[in-house]
Chain A
Amino acid sequence: MRIRYFAWLKQRTGCAEEELDLPAGIDTVGDLMTYLGERHPRFAEAASGQGVVRCAVDQTHADPEVRLAGAREVAFFPPVTGG
């Protein structure tokens, strides 16, 4: 699975994307955020602020309870500020 980061989350994790073999027991977006927090302490710090980190699974917005089965690309980013 490919994990991508955008905006200040990219700076805090120190990478734009990484490949990950999803460990057993990581079923949802929320599980994955907890897992990634262990790899990237600054991701955990950002994600602890409720609602600060948003997620998309295969380029569709996804809440923490969305399941990851079959997903190819998961992206994490701050709330959007376009327009």
Chain B
Amino acid sequence: MVRVQAEPFDPGAELTRFARGRTDIGAVASFTGLVRDTHNGEPVLAMTLEHYPGMTERELERIEAEARRRWPLDDSLVIHRYGRMLPGEPIVLVATAAAHRAAALDACAFLMDWLKTKAPFWKLEETPSGANWVEARESDDAAAARWAG
């Protein structure tokens, strides 16, 4: 399931709900991304995520479908926020459920790596000296490339 929303979410509550009542899964893996209060040594006061409504949901659904094609997942969840948020707030949650840990862990890493290079979100950081668009990192491209093929 994919959710793109402005509202804050509680990662713990989401994970509890994700696994509730399931007796067939042996492994749940998850990643939570938070707003950090510094970037390149400069304080970050807040962050605003712009996105491309419509394409964002489609792209996340494509990425999720690819994960479920590659690994035997019983369930998966992607929640990503947009709009303005403060340091410490969750931005993204990815969770995967499978019978065994390898599929859950690998699929979770894959979802995050592809999300970071394909999902149309852009971060604008507010700092004491003004607002800056965050630049894409080559290390993110490298992380996504390891799942090629």
List residues of A whose CB falls within 8 A of some B CB: 4, 6-8, 56, 59-61, 75, 77-83
Contacts and interface: CB of A to CB of B under 8 A. Distances in A.
B85 interface: no
Nearest to B135: A81
Given A6-B120, A7-B50, A78 B133 contact: yes
B36 interface: no
B116 A80 contact: yes
Top 8 A-B pairs, shortest CB-CB distance: A82-B121, A79-B136, A7-B122, A59-B55, A83-B116, A81-B134, A81-B123, A8-B133
Sorting the interface of chain B by its residue count into under 10, 10 to 19, 20 to 34 or 35 or more gives 20 to 34
Given A77-B122, A78-B122, A81-B122, 20 more contacts: A6-B52, A6-B120, A6-B122, A7-B50, A59-B54, A59-B58, A59-B59, A61-B59, A78-B133, A78-B136, A79-B135, A81-B121, A81-B123, A81-B133, A81-B134, A82-B91, A82-B116, A82-B119, A83-B33, A83-B80
Nearest to B117: A80
